[in-house]
């Protein structure tokens, strides 16, 4: 394992985009976690997210993981560029000539993905605990760890997303094709989910439609990007202003989405290995 990590390190040491996007990602990640300390102008008034309760336990786990998960594309760029350059620069072919097996190649990429995911998750956990204890209106142990499962969901979401990008990178080899495929899949999944929701809500009252959106199961939610998205719901209805407007937040742990993500992880990993074995590189 150490040998494979060293190999990945030396491969990417002099690759400028790798260093730039890595630094950029972690800098923005840390900055975003402190976003609640900044005042925003909204419709002519000042809005402070800290005063809106984003740093209160247990809601803070939902807010921080949702916000920083939006940045996953930055780390995704690193993964895609790192793998794509292997094929464009014929590094993969040279490595196999030098004795690196296809299994070791996939393992080295998985180790890189795991390292990035673990570091990102630890940073989010530590800063969330710090901000929560600094600004939360309660530090009761029961409240502090009530929704800590969002950290685990964040880890699964990132790891699945990176495995997906690894699979696309091995399949398509060109970074531009990878991101085009990612956009097309996102677009298709969004349309299928919208169609499914329309079919279920057609002819229902407004109250019934709200119940359907919050509680009904959608087959589209098992698709790769949708299953990842479902792990961490949008927490905006948990803001104090949303509560004052009578909006209700309902969350049912997405067991189906979690299982779907784990299944997709296995498919992407074994699919990447299968493609490497079958293709004549």
Cβ neighbours of residue 11 under 8 Å, at least 6 residues apart?
82, 86, 91
C-alpha gyration radius of the chain: 21
Supply the pLDDT for residue 40: 66
Residue with the bigger pLDDT between 205 and 255: it is: 255
Supply the pLDDT for residue 1: 74
Taking a C-beta distance cutoff of 8 angstroms, is the pair 128, 64 a contact?
yes
Domain of 91, in residue numbers:
2-278
- Give me the chain's average pLDDT, please: 84
Total domains present in the chain: 1
The CA distance from 147 to 205, in Å, is 32
Cβ neighbours of residue 39 under 8 Å, at least 6 residues apart?
46, 47, 48
DSSP 149-217: HHHHHHHHHHHHHHHHHHHHHHHH-SHHHHHHHHHHHHHHHHHHHHHHHHHHHTT--HHHHHHHHHH--
Taking a C-beta distance cutoff of 8 angstroms, is the pair 239, 231 a contact?
no
Supply the pLDDT for residue 186: 93
Residue with the bigger pLDDT between 188 and 82: it is: 188
Supply the pLDDT for residue 61: 96
Supply the pLDDT for residue 212: 46
Residue with the bigger pLDDT between 91 and 139: it is: 139
């Amino acid at each position: 394992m150490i040998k494979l990590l060293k190999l990945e390190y030396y491969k990417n040491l002099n690759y400028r985009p790798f260093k730039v996007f890595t630094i950029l990602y972690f800098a923005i990640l840390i900055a975003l976690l402190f976003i609640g300390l900044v005042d925003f102008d909204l419709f002519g008034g000042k809005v402070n997210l800290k005063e809106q309760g984003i740093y209160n336990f247990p809601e803070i786990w939902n807010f921080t993981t949702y916000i920083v998960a939006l940045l996953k594309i930055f780390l995704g760029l690193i993964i895609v560029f790192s793998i794509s350059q292997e094929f464009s620069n014929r590094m993969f072919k040279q490595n196999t000539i030098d004795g690196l097996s296809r299994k070791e190649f996939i393992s080295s990429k998985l180790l890189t993905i795991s390292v990035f995911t673990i570091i990102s998750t630890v940073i989010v956990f530590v800063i969330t605990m710090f901000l929560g204890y600094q600004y939360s209106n309660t530090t009761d142990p029961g409240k502090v760890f009530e929704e800590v499962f969002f950290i685990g969901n964040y880890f699964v979401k990132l790891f699945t997303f990176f495995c997906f990008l690894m699979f696309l990178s091995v399949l398509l080899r060109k970074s531009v094709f990878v991101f085009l495929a990612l956009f097309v899949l996102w677009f298709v999944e969004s349309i299928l989910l919208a169609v499914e929701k329309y079919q279920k809500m057609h002819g229902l009252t407004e109250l019934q439609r709200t119940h359907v959106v919050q509680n009904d199961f959608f087959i589209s939610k098992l698709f790769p990007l949708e299953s990842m998205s479902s792990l961490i719901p949008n927490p905006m209805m948990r803001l104090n202003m949303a509560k004052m407007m009578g909006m209700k937040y309902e969350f049912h742990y997405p067991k189906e989405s979690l299982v779907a993500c784990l299944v997709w992880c296995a498919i992407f990993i074994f699919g990447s290995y299968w493609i490497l074995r079958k293709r004549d590189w």
